[in-house]
Amino acid sequence: MYRALANAALVLAVCAMSPAIAAAQPKEQNGVTYINGGVGTDEQNAMKALKADYNLRLTFATRQTGAYRSDVQLDIADARGASVLSVANTGPMFFAKLPPGTYKISAAAEGKTFKRTLKVGNAPKEMVLHWENDSPDDPGIQD
């Protein structure tokens, strides 16, 4: 009991000291674990330190300026169209642990919606979506 309380106090103390670590705390929706963040160098480093645990890694940015985006509505559905994740205000980095399979990704911001179909396996799948000079049309399954 004492050890559990001490561990909980330690976690709270670390999170209070470092907002970046707190921002990268895993969340769960429909049995899928994910983390979202990456605003600022500290959060980016915290996210990168955890990325090995996630097989889907998305980054949202603006191509011409290189600026990251953190205002993306992200929706992920399975191959049959059933919702797996729906998360508002994602970005600039979003990592998820998805069961292997084919997924439909929809990422919307500034009135533009990207739609991609991805095969996700045990190996990491990384994708950067740019909001300028990038076609929002689905190019088909990305291996």
Distance in angstroms (rounded) separating the CA atoms of residues 140 and 105: 11
Mean pLDDT of 27-35: 96
SS3 43: helix
What pLDDT does residue 120 have?
A: 95
Question: Is residue 131 very low, low, confident or very high in pLDDT (cuts 50, 70, 90)?
Answer: confident
Domains along the chain with CATH numbers: 2-142 (2.60.40.10)
- 17 vs 29, residue with greater confidence: 29
**Residue 21 in tokens:** 């670590």
What are 53-99's pLDDT values in tens digits?
999 999 998 877 778 888 999 999 999 999 999 999 999 999 999 99
Distance in angstroms (rounded) separating the CA atoms of residues 46 and 41: 9
What pLDDT does residue 69 have?
A: 85
